[in-house]
Amino acid sequence: MMKSDSFGMLLAPVRVLIPDRLIITPVDNFKDIVEAYKAVAENGFIHPPICQRVIYNSKNEKIREGVKKQADIYGLPSTHTIEYSDAESKDEFRSGTGRFILGMFNVLYDSRLQWEGWGHEDRIPANTDPVSVIYNGGMINFGGKSIVQVDQLSAFFISALNTWDSLAPEARKRLLNALYYHQKATAYKWGFEKFTVDYYAVDAIWRYSVESGLWNDSNAGHGKRITWMAHILGLYPKPDPAQKKNHPEIQHICDIRNNLFHEADWGIGNPIDVGFENGVCFTLHRLVKRLIVASVGVQNQFTESS
């Protein structure tokens, strides 16, 4: 027997079939939901609706209207159904294996998925931004490189779930933390916010690599830990110990991180200046995707590309 649940919003009509383990399909009215989402999307995002707090005074039975503001939590229709093995209860699945599956979809599509009945918070990517992952021609791309072919999604999730099944609870927690912060980064507007939260994901992946036995130097500095973690996961060639240098891409990220975290210095000006952050935020966001995909046992053109 399989149990059933649903989630959203994922604007690609993806299907995953792993017999006796996992079945994911679009809901019957998927096309209508997608068109409705796109009709209200602004600058590539679905934004929280405007709500108004109402205050009721029980003594005089008067109602006072509060300020209007964006909702802290709001609901959206589900776009996909998910059937899973009945070995787990619904709550266990949603907070464990299911959360991992949704997190991996967030990595693939730059989405921010949530279970049916659970509230969304902040803005949600509507996958209309050209910088985000694009569903096009049967390929899931990011930055011009293919992460996985759509018809190979089932194989992708078989590999990912095999890795998940092998992990101890502490390693699972670290991986889930990385997945959470990575999707959360897309909700922020300012570059220094995006960079900070995506770097949380880097730290979580590093801790995951320690907990899962991939890396044994828990005291390494940031540049060294990312450089060697990226090598162990197959992203970069083995560093030359004689040079004592990090990969240039990683060193640049670490320099930005050190200036921001220790000196509150974001590039060449004010933290809310635009322009400077576009390149480094994209580079870090893409690096996190590559680290996560490689961490679950998938090696391909995307993970090995700089």
- How do residues 189-205 score in pLDDT, each as one tens digit? 888 888 999 999 999 99
- Determine, yes or no, domain membership for 175: yes
The answer on 179 and 131 residing in a single domain is no
Distance CA 292, CA 303 (A): 9
Q: Is 92 helix (H, G, I), strand (E, B) or coil?
A: helix
| Sign of the alpha-carbon torsion through 211, 182, 107, 157 | positive
Q: What confidence tens digit (pLDDT) does each residue in 152-189 have?
A: 788 889 999 999 999 999 999 999 999 999 999 988 88
Q: What is the mean pLDDT of the chain?
A: 81
- Half-sphere exposure at residue 250, Cβ-oriented, CA atoms within 13 angstroms: 21
Range of the structural domain that residue 264 is part of: 167-306
- Decide if pLDDT at 276 tops 60: no
- Residue 179 phi, psi dihedral angles, 5° rounding: -65, -40
Last residue of a domain, one of 114, 145, 176: 145
Query: Is the peptide bond between 9 and the residue preceding it cis, with omega within 30 degrees of 0?
Result: yes
Distance CA 139, CA 158 (A): 18
- Decide if pLDDT at 139 tops 90: no
Greater confidence (58 vs 42) lies with: 42
- Residue 208 phi, psi dihedral angles, 5° rounding: -60, -40
- Determine, yes or no, domain membership for 158: no
pTM: predicted TM-score of the whole model, two decimal places: 0.86
The answer on 123 and 54 residing in a single domain is yes
- Decide if pLDDT at 287 tops 90: no
Number of domains in the chain: 2
Q: Range with the lowest mean pLDDT among 171-185, 225-239, 279-293?
A: 225-239
The answer on 130 and 198 residing in a single domain is no
Q: Range with the lowest mean pLDDT among 62-71, 120-129, 248-257?
A: 120-129
Distance CA 106, CA 297 (A): 17
- The length of the chain, given as a count of residues: 306
**Which contiguous run of DSSP H or E holds residue 124?**
strand 124-125
| Sign of the alpha-carbon torsion through 262, 121, 134, 300 | positive
- Decide if pLDDT at 25 tops 90: yes
The answer on 125 and 200 residing in a single domain is no
The answer on 191 and 120 residing in a single domain is no
Q: What is the average per-residue pLDDT within 5-30?
A: 91
Nearest to 44 by CA among 242, 187, 236: 187
Greater confidence (283 vs 271) lies with: 283
Eight-state DSSP code of residue 152 = G
pLDDT value of position 304: 66
The answer on 201 and 271 residing in a single domain is yes
- Decide if pLDDT at 129 tops 60: no
Q: How confident is the model at residue 81 (pLDDT cuts 50, 70, 90)?
A: very high
- Determine, yes or no, domain membership for 154: no
- Determine, yes or no, domain membership for 162: no
pLDDT value of position 166: 94
Last residue of a domain, one of 145, 178, 202: 145
Helices (H), ranges, 212-247 = 222-232
pLDDT value of position 271: 67
Task: Give the torsion through C-alpha atoms of 198, 277, 252, 127, to 10 deg.
Answer: 50
Q: Range with the lowest mean pLDDT among 9-23, 39-53, 73-87, 118-132?
A: 118-132
83, 160 contact by CB (below 8 A):
no
pLDDT value of position 269: 61
- Determine, yes or no, domain membership for 150: no
The answer on 191 and 95 residing in a single domain is no
Last residue of a domain, one of 145, 175, 193: 145
- Hey, what amino acid is at 225? R
The answer on 139 and 174 residing in a single domain is no
The answer on 216 and 95 residing in a single domain is no
Q: Range with the lowest mean pLDDT among 96-100, 125-129, 171-175, 244-248?
A: 125-129
The answer on 189 and 132 residing in a single domain is no
